[in-house]
Amino acid sequence: MHRKPIILILTSRDERAGLSKNLADSIKKIGTHNVVVISDDKYSSRQKTSRLDRLVQMQEDYQQILVEKSRKIKSGKKGVKSGRAFRISNAVKRYRPELVLAVTPYAYFALTEAKRKAGFSTAIFYVMPYFVLDKQSYGDVDSTFIVENQDVKSALVAQGVPSRKVMTMGLPYDIEKKTPLEVAALKQELGLPKTMSVFLNATKKDGVEELFRLLLDQGGVINTVVYAGDNKMGGELRLIADEYNANNVVILQREEQVDEYLTACDTVITKYDVSTIYKAFKLGKPVITFGGTAHANREIDYLVSHGLVMHARENLEIVGLTYRLIETGVAATYVRAGEKWVENASIDNIANYLVSYIGY
């Protein structure tokens, strides 16, 4: 019986918006390849106590430590006998994939570490989830990069990555855009008023309670859908909503609810979150960003410089920017810019590129 070739996808706990599953589904839909997805609960430290493993849960801006740590690792048989590199190498031997695709920074650096230590020849691909290249060096790694824009490609080439190994294809965050009539029907189905609804994407660390209160202070002018992300945070936000006797609030706690409400809302207010921002561009929603790590601020500065998002330096400014979008034609300018930016980006294009790869 003929065995379909396999693409192995490596992911980790820092993945956003079901990226590995969506890519796997798109690849399998083509019909030529099977896909195996492995997360770090299978290949990383079983004790979950190493510094490298804790970084996934502790912070977003950990790429520098990952690179520095991976570069200190010396190749040799001793290192391959245990740990993360051994488990990844075993997966490559077991599945014999045509290529291995990393979809998070953690997965990518773990994968390149394993290739250096184990010496396998399988090609590595990396969907780089950035609008701006981070400060790391990639020129010494034999990988193929799928990047969001030409500026990232130019930066990689300047580091010594061959131009043919950097594909500018956008990011694989797809979402179906609906017509205005379909959006109106969706609002009614979800019980959202016809007036302005904002989608708030923030965590406790981002000061979500203060932001939530500022939006509730606007009364019935602004309806708020907030993605809380967990039961505890959701409960705390409900208590705040009860203080205001607010009946124009929806609190989401499951990630699978996000796309539907994101589609129905008129404006997106978000911490730096590449998947939420990219989907907002595709849906034609203006975006207000705030806060973040050093890397997130570099990303936001890039988006602001291209007229793609508005940025609030403090929480109170978010309300002012929201009214600016309501009361002027500014929103249309940002909508057009975002839609144009992502018009050629498609998860299916990336899937077709991957399945067409022929190793040499």
* 49 or 257, which is more confident: 257
Give dist(CA 103, CA 105) in Å, integer. Answer: 7
What is the mean pLDDT of the segment spanning 292-302? 89
Q: What confidence tens digit (pLDDT) does each residue in 167-183 have?
A: 999 999 999 999 999 99
Task: Check residue 1 and report its DSSP letter.
Answer: -
List of residues 6+ apart from 216 with CB closer than 8 A? 224, 240, 241, 244, 246, 249
Hey, is 280 helix, strand or coil? helix
> How many CA atoms does the CB half-sphere of 323 hold within 13 Å?
8
**Long-range interactions of 132-141: CB distance < 8 A, separation 24+:** 132/298, 132/299, 132/302, 134/63, 134/64, 134/295, 134/298, 135/63, 135/64, 136/63, 136/64, 136/67, 137/67, 141/112
Q: What confidence tens digit (pLDDT) does each residue in 68-82 have?
A: 454 444 434 444 445
Give the CA-trace dihedral at 113, 118, 120, 124, to 10 degrees: -10
Contact 319, 312 (CB under 8 A): no
pTM over 0.75: yes
> How many CA atoms does the CB half-sphere of 10 hold within 13 Å?
31
List of residues 6+ apart from 67 with CB closer than 8 A? 109, 136, 137
How high does pLDDT run on average in the chain? 87
Give dist(CA 113, CA 240) in Å, integer. Answer: 46
* pLDDT at 350 exceeding the cut of 60: yes
Q: What confidence tens digit (pLDDT) does each residue in 92-149 have?
A: 999 999 999 999 999 998 999 999 888 899 999 999 999 999 877 787 778 999 999 9
Q: What confidence tens digit (pLDDT) does each residue in 181-207 have?
A: 999 999 999 999 888 899 999 888 888
Tokens 């500065």 appear where?
A: 301
Give dist(CA 239, CA 347) in Å, integer. Answer: 39
> 318-345 in b/e burial notation, b at 16+ Cβ within 10 A?
bbebbeebbeeeebeebbebbeebbeeb
Give the CA-trace dihedral at 125, 352, 132, 51, to 10 degrees: -40
* pLDDT at 29 exceeding the cut of 80: yes
- CB count in 10 Å sphere of residue 164: 8
> How many CA atoms does the CB half-sphere of 152 hold within 13 Å?
25
Hey, is 293 helix, strand or coil? coil
Sign, CA dihedral 161-163-164-169, equals positive
Here the tokens at position 206 are 């981002």
Nearest-5° angle of CA 99, CA 100, CA 103?
A: 135
- pLDDT recorded at residue 45: 63
Hey, is 137 helix, strand or coil? coil
* pLDDT at 51 exceeding the cut of 80: no
Give dist(CA 233, CA 235) in Å, integer. Answer: 5
Strand pairing category for 99-102 and 123-127:
parallel
Percent of the chain as helix, strand, coil, to the nearest 5:
50, 15, 35
Contact 26, 346 (CB under 8 A): no
Hey, is 144 helix, strand or coil? strand
What is the mean pLDDT of the segment spanning 32-40? 95
